[in-house]
Structure 1
């Protein structure tokens, strides 16, 4: 889908595109419902409680992803990336021995993962990259504690230092951007 060229405003979908996107969303959500029903009746040997979150997140996330691709919409791509990252985290918690206490850094990284998805359609790429670095760095620091590599005392100090570095980077970037704007 084309944008207006000067802004990130996305032009509306055609009637046919809306119909296809809604149909795909319906099919994916019906498939999620069938999977949960099969688990509830014992045909699939999995607890409905255990697979409900990943099944629903994947069904909804894939439908948003499909619509975002059709619309070439960066915001919808970001949302799909966040939803799918959360879906994968829920799935990993079900199929591996790792629990949410080990996997929560993926939730911290989810906005950055959304930026990885959205960068393909975003007109401004640099803000996407900055967000990926920001959320990725904090997720990496949190993963030190969740993996057991260091305790929360050290992790807290690293989080504060990481936050301070980002504040300094923001201050420097803002100063030079404003100076550049004033000299232009």
Structure 2
């Protein structure tokens, strides 16, 4: 990772803005490089610099989950993650999970279960669910896991609700969102 330095310590780069960071990301399989203000959030880099349309700004405080993306396969809130701290990582948004005519199993389940209404939170919900399914496959327990010593986590309805609790939906599509996740978990043998 490139650590920001004041311009007075950058020698020949003294004409660069005072606090910058060179950031290299692979976004949905495409390589991207840029020099950013070191305070730039990953969300701002994705939307303003790269042109990603699916990552959404909701609360801008990491409380609603609309900005959730996957970084090296783990879900993060991109509005509170600095782009510079993600240097060298693989960033996946819903656009990188599938495409029209070739949806990922989770995207297809959201459509089949009507796991959306206005759709604003849907990209964050899908990325969070994808990350949550990966965490469950790895055996990561949640607050409601009955036996944390178990090697596998079965995604009960309570587990799904707990693991998705960081993603808000103002339209109240939670029941259908949980049904879509349960459908994919069923297909993966992760349901009781």
TM-score range, shorter chain: under 0.3
Bigger share in helix? 1
TM-score between both structures, scaled by the size of structure 2: 0.26
Bigger share in strand? 2
Q: Highest Rg: 1 or 2?
A: 1
Highest relative contact order (Cα 8 Å, sep 6+), 1 or 2?
2
